Amino acid sequence: MATHFPGRAPRENPQYAGLSAVGKSASFATGSSLIKPNKKMTGIFFGSTTGTTESVAARIAERLGVAQADVHNVAAASVEDVKKYDLLLLGSSTWGSGELQDDWPGFLDKLGKEDLSGRRVALFGCGDAGIYSDTFCDAMAEIRDGLASTGCTFVGGFDAEEYPGCGSRLCQDGEAIGWAVDDSASDAENQMRMELWIAAIG
Ligand SMILES: Cc1cc2nc3c(=O)[nH]c(=O)nc-3n(C[C@H](O)[C@H](O)[C@H](O)COP(=O)(O)O)c2cc1C
């Protein structure tokens, strides 16, 4: 199984799929409704220690019209829960020095062994770029790397310039790999980045 990171259309970056990317998969060939989030098939999975990422997950659910029953704390979720969704929105805060939130490693170990072919994965996370600039939201990269063998397709990458001075694993090859909510940014800035992320998911 190969994990797909088709590129943003304008640059044809092989690592990330964008809204209108001309990918190798027929489902991504156009900007049709095929790639729009379907709330019936969208699952949100988060890990949160002090509640920030949990709040963000609820905010995403409200914005996208995802039912509460489809919002899962990985501390209590099983990989079986994942299988009913076509679009997975996976979120973790970053702790220690660039590490996954505590509830994620066990879940990710199991999820990383699953066949997620045909499923799209978009990443979000919480961190603090002001204090932890070198490891800002690195947990998102941990999740992405942990799913490298699952055959999933990552979506939701957008221009790293939206994160000025970004020097962590969040930003690679000019792309932010998902929506990183920054404790040190303004609400307006975080909100604007959320909209860019949602637009990139398609
Ligand atoms: C001890 C400690 C270590 C942290 N390490 C990082 C880090 O390496 N990178 C980062 O972006 N944020 C780091 N943070 C910030 C948290 O990720 C941030 O406060 C986040 O909003 C917590 O979300 P949660 O309540 O959902 O767990 C750290 C915070 C603390 C207290």
> Angle between the 138-146 and 104-111 helix axes, to the nearest 10 degrees?
30
Determine whether the shortest distance from the Cβ of 137 to ligand 1 is under 6 A. Answer: yes
For the ranges 36-45, 57-66, 159-168, the lowest mean pLDDT is seen at 36-45
Determine whether the shortest distance from the Cβ of 190 to ligand 1 is under 6 A. Answer: no
Residue 6 to residue 20: CA distance in whole angstroms: 11
Q: Which domains does the chain have, with CATH numbers?
A: 42-201 (3.40.50.360)
- Report residue 7: phi and psi, to 5°: -90, 165
Higher pLDDT, 39 or 65: 65
Residue 3 to residue 143: CA distance in whole angstroms: 13
Determine whether the shortest distance from the Cβ of 47 to ligand 1 is under 6 A. Answer: no
Q: What is the DSSP letter of 7?
A: P
Closest by alpha carbon to 107, among 142, 136, 138? 142
Neighbours of 123 (CB within 10 A): 28
For residue 1, pLDDT over 70 is answered with no
| Structure-block tokens of residue 103 | 């509830």
Residue 40: per-residue pLDDT:
54
Secondary structure of residue 57 in the 3-state scheme: helix
Under 8 Å between Cβ of 127 and 93? yes
The predicted-structure confidence for 133-142, as pLDDT tens digits, reads as follows 999 999 999 9
For the ranges 28-32, 38-42, 74-78, 152-156, the lowest mean pLDDT is seen at 28-32
The per-residue DSSP string of 68-112 comes to GGGEEETTT--HHHHTT-SEEEEEEEEETTTEEPTTHHHHHHHHT
Nearest CA, atom 1, ligand 1: 96
Ligand 1 centroid, distance to 128 Cα (angstroms): 6
- Stretch 143-171: mean pLDDT, rounded? 97
Closest by alpha carbon to 127, among 113, 107, 106, 142? 142
For residue 30, pLDDT over 90 is answered with no
Determine whether the shortest distance from the Cβ of 55 to ligand 1 is under 6 A. Answer: no
Paired with 158 in beta bridges are: 176
Nearest atom, ligand 1, residue 56 CA: 26
Determine whether the shortest distance from the Cβ of 33 to ligand 1 is under 6 A. Answer: no
Nearest CA, atom 9, ligand 1: 136
Residue 36: per-residue pLDDT:
52
Paired with 100 in beta bridges are: 94
Paired with 159 in beta bridges are: 175
Q: Label residues 6-34 b or e (16+ Cβ within 10 Å = b).
A: bbbbeeebebbbbbbbebeeeebeeeeee
Average of per-residue pLDDT values in the chain:
86
